[in-house]
Chains A and B, each alone.
Chain A
């Protein structure tokens, strides 16, 4: 039974509704343009069909089919033809450019968009977000089971945006599957509409240590002195950069991979902070800073303005609590003692440490000698040159040869 071309192609390209649900959509093939690959009649035995690939013959004696010779060129062309055609055709799938990124530009991993700086969000209602920097914290492919289509997949992107001076916002943007950039752009837009303000102590760290939790993610945040840096979960580093926190220590316990819960918890804790002034008002006491660089001299930072100052008699037991414990709910992160590596007490390791023992002062000696201008650079050449010059000075007698205990004579070197 002969079937037409389109009918035959339909067997390859079409899928029934139930087949779609069973996931057969992926196995379908596109219709291929066969004419490009195969010319009817081209073979080593060049067959000419009148009316098909050769002009019509109306003369009776030659017949409708004739066989001709293929030239050598044509044979060669036909052999590599398919490959040539495929090369000329451009690939349908748009490939993301896999150029290497500078280490400063990279995100969390390689060329992926997650963690890279994504510029400013688009302006909303005439408000531009010039100073704002966005980061995408997570991109995932989520599924939802519906009654009409069955399993529906969506790309979801958690995006955080902030201006580095206390204003920030985060949101989850969604888009159809494989439209990662659309999801991120949606997220950027939503985040720029959900901005909150966080007061920062000295513009660089949080006011108090806090504890916050969301689902199974527990966050213990502690303020740190200037110049400490961000010692926390990598996603939290990006969030802190967006907000403008420069020195903090955060310990995340529980689920460290649920980034949405992590962001929720951290932001909740941040928003529940109080500035020193607000704390002073609430408590009715002076907030006093004792800095180690000033030998812990008390210096008043904030005093209550609208409320009265409490005296020793009106002080409650709760007020005497250490301020560091105020916002922590009495919880502390688990601190495991630093475990020695397994080989610390083995014989080979102790032996190696003993062999290194004679050289324990080499580094400090090197620093002392460089500081005393022995050599400009600590290279073997420079040190050898210094030794040469010293040798010169001693052989000519400018400098006395340092004799002493153990160095009793000067013996001429034997010329071999």
Chain B
């Protein structure tokens, strides 16, 4: 295969050659994989559109779930009308769309090095290698020149690992230590994944590594495989990694479990989009999808033609046949995901509405049987709910008439 020698001066990450087999396609999965340009495929308009459609925007539980910040700040309270609230939510949804920008799917950089000079006179100048990093001001992390002088005198370019290590050494960023954290290896990775922290690991890996670092590609594929095996799709739905994850599954013809997940939730449109994605990614597929096909037809066709997956898509079958959606179990699993941020659940009491003010699930809870609630609309100030209560010998004193006493106190 033709291999173009990348020049040092223009070390851009655009790989110009077509690989024999892409790193994103596992050898075991499919047969006709020789000339797929994974990056080009990922960037295509319809693939990107399908991926964004598949990634739902769950503001409360995923994109803007409570995270640990670096400084303590107090919550802000505001008074809003419905319109303003909607407008603010729209703005947050736009922010969320930017937060859901996919991590670039790139082929890993070549581990090969280029020998620049062979100076045998310099042999054994030292017992260790010297690494030279160019720290000119306008070089970016990807563009930087890093060369290594071996003890035997050869001058070579650095391999990706050394290159990134030098970047991390000289251009330190918070939470980007020089050596990769032990979290990215087993057994710590396994422990973290058992605690459903896939998003955290992937986020940190994306911040730590470059997207085309071979280590990052390996790590992300490992995590994707584990998610697929353990059926824990809820950990990366509505995150920035869902796009690359779905793309990876589609490349490897591995969508039945995800289909099953969507089917279990009753999201037929997502199932259909997934099938369309698979078709877009693998055009040489057996299934033909016409333009005007409805979602249900597409899904049914897929099921008919891929009978070998029947045991994996039971939920989908159940949904299509009976319309049953397994919602409670999903909610249970989702609640496990919500236990983040110091183990504290986002324990907000249920909002008091006219529906639950008198019931068990309202503010009174169990006491609602003993006490009756009378909602009194008062003029302007003071309490709007008068709750009839047994007097317990405690002075009511200032509490009731406090607004009137306000002026009196201030006159002092």
Tell me, yes or no, whether A and B come into direct contact in the complex with CB atoms closer than 8 A: yes
A positions within 8 Å CB-CB of B: 124-125, 127, 167, 193-197, 208, 212-215, 223-225, 227-228, 261, 264, 268, 271-272, 276-279, 281-283, 285-303, 305-307, 309-312, 315, 319, 322-324, 400-405
Residues of chain B with a CB closer than 8 A to A224's CB: 74
Residues of B within 8 A of A208 (CB): 77
Produce 1/0 per residue, B116-133, CB < 8 A to A: 000000000011101000
Q: How far is the CA of A397 from the CA of B341 in the complex (A)?
A: 48
- Asked if A286 contacts B59 (CB within 8 A), the reply is no
Interface status of B267 (Cβ within 8 A of chain A): no
Contact A277 B352 (CB under 8 A): yes
Closest 4 interchain pairs by CB? A281-B384, A292-B73, A285-B79, A297-B64
Q: How far apart sit A240 and B315, CA to CA, in the bound complex (Å)?
A: 56
Asked if residues B64 and A196 are in contact (CB atoms below 8 Å), the reply is: no
Given contacts A290-B78, A291-B75, contact A307 B377 (CB under 8 A): yes
The reply to whether B409 and A264 contact each other, CB–CB distance below 8 Å, is yes
Closest to A276 in B: B77
Q: Which residues from chain A contact B88 at a C-beta distance below 8 Å?
A: 288, 298
How many residues does chain B have at the interface if contact means C-beta atoms less than 8 Å apart?
60
Given contacts A271-B402, A292-B73, A310-B81, contact A303 B128 (CB under 8 A): no
Also in contact, A278 and B383, with CB within 8 A (given A294-B65, A297-B59):
yes
Question: In whole angstroms, how far apart are the Cα atoms of A306 and B385 in the complex?
Answer: 9
> B83, A312: Cβ atoms under 8 Å?
yes
Any A CB within 8 A of the CB of B351? yes
* B83 to A, closest residue via Cβ: A312
A287: B residues at CB distance < 8 A: 77-79
User: Which among B68, B384, B393 is the interface contact of A125 at CB below 8 angstroms?
Assistant: B393
Cα–Cα, bound, A402→B376 (Å): 82
B72 touching A305, Cβ below 8 Å: no
Report yes or no: B354 in contact with A305, Cβ–Cβ below 8 A: yes
**CB proximity to A under 8 Å, residues B58-74:** 59-60, 64-69, 72-74
Nearest chain B CB to A386 CB, angstrom units? 19
CB distance from B87 to the nearest CB of A (A): 10
Contact assessment for B353 and A303 in the assembled complex, using a CB-CB cutoff below 8 Å: yes
| Bound CA–CA A282/B385 (angstroms) | 11
> B residues within 8 A CB of A306?
375-377, 384-385
8 Å CB contact of A305 from B67, B75, B353? B353
Task: Determine whether the beta carbon of B74 is less than 8 Å from that of A223.
Answer: yes
**B411 → chain A, closest Cβ, in Å?**
10
Chain A residues with CB under 8 Å of B375's CB are 305-306
Contact B399–A196 (Cβ < 8 Å): yes
Query: In whole angstroms, how far apart are the Cα atoms of A268 and B410 in the complex?
Result: 9
Which residues of chain B come closer than 8 Å to A223, judged between CB atoms?
A: 74
Q: If the complex has contacts A291-B66, A294-B65, are A404 and B128 also in contact, measured as CB distance less than 8 A?
A: yes
**Candidates B78, B81, B410; contact of A323 at CB < 8 Å:** B78
CA distance A195 to B393 in the complex (A): 10
> Once bound together, how far apart are the Cα atoms of A311 and B398, in whole Å?
34
A15 to B238 CA separation, bound complex (whole angstroms): 92
Q: Which residues does chain A contribute within 8 Å of B395, judged by CB atoms? A: 193-196
Q: In the complex where A302-B352, A306-B375 touch, is A286 in contact with B64 (Cβ < 8 A)? A: no
Selected contact of A288 from candidates B73, B80, B353, B357, CB within 8 Å: B80
25 A–B pairs (Cβ distance < 8 Å), ordered by A? A125-B393, A193-B395, A194-B397, A195-B395, A195-B397, A213-B410, A215-B412, A268-B405, A277-B352, A278-B383, A278-B384, A286-B85, A287-B77, A289-B77, A290-B75, A290-B77, A293-B68, A294-B66, A298-B78, A298-B92, A306-B376, A309-B81, A323-B77, A403-B128, A404-B126
Q: Are A302 and B73 in contact (CB under 8 A)?
A: no
Inter-chain CA distance A125–B395, complex, in Å, is: 13
Distance in angstroms between the alpha carbons of A402 and B130 in the assembled complex: 12
Interface of B toward A, CB cutoff 8 Å = 59-60, 64-69, 72-85, 88-89, 92, 95, 126-128, 130, 341, 348, 351-354, 357, 375-377, 380-385, 392-395, 397-399, 402-403, 405-406, 409-410, 412
Knowing A297-B60, A306-B376 are in contact, say whether A268-B409 is a contact too (CB < 8 A): yes
Tell which of A167, A293, A322 touches B67, judged by Cβ atoms closer than 8 Å. A293
Q: Which residues on the A side are within 8 Å of B412 (C-beta)?
A: 213-215, 261, 264
CB distance A311 to B83 under 8 Å?
yes
* Cα A297 to Cα B76 with chains together (Å): 10
- The answer to whether B85 and A227 have CB atoms under 8 Å apart is no
Which of A167, A224, A288, A300 has the most chain B CB atoms inside 10 A of its CB?
A288
Please indicate the chain B residues that have their CB under 8 angstroms from the CB of A290 in the complex.
75-78
Residues in chain B near residue A282, CB distance under 8 A: 380-381, 384
For the complex, give the distance between the alpha carbons of A279 and B352 in Å: 13
Q: Contact: B79 with A286, CB < 8 Å?
A: yes
Report the minimum CB–CB distance from A54 to chain B (whole Å). Answer: 76
Give complex CA distance A309, B399 in Å. Answer: 27
Closest to B357 in A: A305
Distance (Å) between the CB of B166 and the closest chain A CB? 16
Chain A residues within 8 Å of B398, by CB: 196, 271
Would B79 and A319 count as touching, CB distance under 8 A? yes
Q: Apart from A213-B412, A272-B402, what 4 extra A-B contacts exist at CB < 8 Å?
A: A127-B393, A268-B406, A271-B398, A297-B92
Could you tell me the distance in whole angstroms from the C-beta of A218 to the nearest C-beta in chain B? 11
A295 and B352 contact, CB distance less than 8 A? no
- The complex places the Cα of A310 from the Cα of B380 at a distance, in Å, of 15
From A226, which residue of chain B is reached at the shortest CB distance?
B72
Q: Which B residues lie within 8 Å of A319 (CB)?
A: 79
Given contacts A214-B412, A288-B77, A312-B84, A271 and B399 within 8 Å (CB-CB): yes
B402-A288 in contact (CB<8A): no
Bound Cα distance A223, B76 (Å): 10
Residue of B nearest to A372 (CB): B179
A300 touches B75 (CB 8 A): no
Residues from chain B with Cβ under 8 Å of A401 in the complex: 127
